A and B are shown apart, each in its own frame.
Chain A
Amino acid sequence: MHGIRKAFGATQALAGVDLRVEAGQILALVGENGAGKSTLMKVLSGAHLPDAGGMELDGVPYRPRTPNEARQAGVAMIYQELALAPHLSVAENILLGMEPVRYGFTRRSAMRQKAVEALRQLGRADLAPDTLVESLPIADRQLVEIARAVAVGCRLLVLDEPTSSLTHDDIRHLFALVRRLKEQGHAIVYISHFLEEVKAISDRFTVLRDGQSVGEGETPFTPTSRLIELMVGREVKDLYPRSPRVPGDVVLEVTELAGQGKPVRASLALRKGEVLGLAGLVGAGRTELLRAVFGLAAVRRGTVRVGAHVGAASPARRWAQGVGMVSEDRKTEGLALTLSVTDNTTLSRLQGLGPLGLVLPGRQAEATRRWIDALQIKCRDPHQPVGDLSGGNQQKVAVGRLLHHDVDVLLLDEPTRGIDVGSKAQIYRVIDDLAARGKAILMVSSYLPELLGVCDRVAVMCRGELQPARPVGDLDEHRIMAEATGAA
């Protein structure tokens, strides 16, 4: 691809991008959210037509007008949100749209055979082709999606943030699979926010910033700090700021808490003016713990004390007690995407925004503007639907809600997942600032450098059991992983 340009209205999404990937090579495409990665890949896979520039595939001009044309030419896109039909079987999904047909009827045996072939190519002949996709774990669904690309004979695969919802084990399997595809001569474009992954899997990289390719090179010979510099266009100093923090009274105390399933047993004490991190594998029960504390999940045993309050919890009560939560899944739970930035920010506390208990949109917007400025949320105006914003800015809105409510205890579930480095830095600054001002923060994260950088203490959860919290000074990534995997 060379000199690719694409504009949407007045926004120049791509302003001249060059990209090259060879057969048997894994190219990492990195860049902040909004840098143009998705747009570029949509051009590559036929979902958008470029305004200028050209593409060649195997030395032949390539200009797909639809995703289907791209697929037929051998280019397949594996999106973050998996595009499978959950009620159909593995085989039906793999061959969806290209079912072998005779006399107008699908040939089930031929279909199964082709599916098995594709799965074998991926080294997963054990996956039964008749299984319904809805009964598969997310990692296997991803595999089905990849098998679908392989079954049509695609030679260029684009993986967009493939690990964002996978566990460590699944990621290992995925990497093995990607390497296998590489050895079979496939070309792979790998998009990820996780620079460790990029380092681990890719041969070469291309960095996008503001719609332009600003750097490329061989991954093994490039330090991570250089990648970050290229991505943000400046040196990142103090990604994790740390103001003096003075731990105060215990504001949240969880004693022997057990939920339906997970957590099995969890006790913790969170003080004013500290950030307590919850580490652990995906599925260890950290999210469930936060939800139980916040009243979104049932408590089977144990108690949660917030300040002087003990007893049944509901989100409404928790907000009233000065506790707020940022959900790990901003699209399905964290934000109402069709509503405005203003509505999303003020939803939990609409009181005091007008006389007689009324809610005046002007006052609402005024209250929101303060947080738009403080968090540098990029939006046209406060009434813009939050779904129009980039992931990082959406997440800032979710955090802004807690600031608007002026809560004392913040429950943050993966607050920086899937967002760009700039937004991450912003959120770290906010967390630090809040802690310095005496707020208490309980934060779940699967990204260990972040936990070690932001938190004062970290507790590890393993199979639903929460280990005692320890100061970050006594911990490093290896010890956390050892505890999280139950090896310690």
Chain B
Amino acid sequence: MNAWIKKLGPLIGLVFVFALFAVLRPQKFPTMDNLEIMLLQTAVVGTAALGMTMIIISGGIDLSVGSQVALCTVTLSLLLNAGWTPLAAALGAVAIGAGCGALIGTLITRLRLSPFIVTLGMWGALRGAAKGLANETMVVTPPTWLNKLLNAVSAEHKWMLVPPGVWMTVVLALVVAVLLRYTRQGRHIFAIGSNEQTARLCGVSVERTKLTVYMLASCFAALAGVLQYSYLTVGDPTTANGMELDVIAAVVIGGGSLAGGQGSVLGSLIGALIMTAVANGCTKMDLPNWVQEIVTGLIIIAAVALDRLRQKKE
């Protein structure tokens, strides 16, 4: 019973936010076009949130997601301009992401530094690297099919229902959900986040698992970067500034605990959708940006407070 409330909590929140705006702006908010737009807007943060979910469940944090996204839009653009095919350039960007993750994971496990410190450092360093590579300007690229990942579905492709970028997020989410719930690796990630010493006692190779988690998460950040590039159609070293906080907020609203050991893919995606719905709804209500920022902030606090309250009652 309680387990169900926990699982449904974020979903109830999403339905509530949705219903609220649907009632307030029935002509503008609950239209098919707007729904599609909201899914598009969620894809980037949602993809990055998949990685963050794994990290937070393992008891860690990654503050450098936004910088990683920016670095990937830049490297992707530079590779395209260097004559790489779009697919190769995208894979190249993901490889850069994997490299970032390997670096972060190695620093955390070898030097025994806290993830907060390591990724705070990376937040600055990777942003700087992106700016350096891009010569502090936007990297303009020729149009390719990559730019269409997040375009609204055209009339002749109606069978796709949503744009390919959204499908990519959905498929990746399924993969991560299965990984977390139905594989040894996944159970090990939960165990490490719940109690690292217990995991070690039970023969889990804590260091290797953590390294894998950070590498995978950075690959997801890189894929989020590919989507972000698709949306921007240029490489922008200043993009996704502060996105790490949106990503963390999505995971936390979705039931992730910063103490580790708790969180779910579905929850994080719903968390990301709630934030998009609030932002989108506020725009449709013609509310200024600052109102929307206050509302989002309050939702984060309320979501965690409700969760605490529920646990206390138990």
Contact = CB atoms under 8 A, between A and B. Distances in A.
A335 B195 contact: yes
A252 interface: no
Contact of A359 (B3, B183, B197): B183
A337 interface: yes
Interface residues of B, number: 24
Given A327-B197, A347-B202, 12 more contacts: A314-B203, A315-B200, A320-B203, A333-B198, A336-B190, A338-B262, A339-B194, A343-B191, A347-B188, A347-B199, A359-B187, A361-B181
Contacts of B182: 354, 358-361
B141 interface: no
A317 B186 CA distance: 20
A390 interface: no
B198 A336 contact: yes
| Chief secondary structure at chain B's binding surface | helix
A170 B224 CA distance: 59
A334 B195 CA distance: 9
B154 interface: no
Interface string A321-346: 00001010000111111110001101
Interface in B82-121: none
A325 B201 contact: yes
A333 B201 contact: yes
Contact of A357 (B183, B199, B205): B183
A336 B199 contact: yes
Interface of B: 3, 178, 181-184, 186-188, 190-191, 194-195, 197-205, 261-262
Contacts of A325: 201
Contacts of A361: 181-182
Nearest 3 CB-CB pairings of A with B: A336-B194, A316-B203, A336-B195
Given A336-B194, A339-B194, A359 B186 contact: yes
5 contacts: A347-B202, A354-B182, A357-B184, A359-B183, A401-B202
B181 A315 contact: no
Nearest to B181: A361
A371 interface: no
Contacts of B3: 383
Contacts of A164: none
A360 B181 CA distance: 8
Contacts of A315: 200-203
B194 A327 contact: no
Contact of A316 (B183, B204, B262): B204
Nearest to B260: A338
Contacts of A347: 187-188, 191, 198-199, 202, 204
B312 to A, nearest CB: 12
Given A335-B195, A336-B194, A358-B182, A343 B201 contact: no
B194 A338 contact: yes
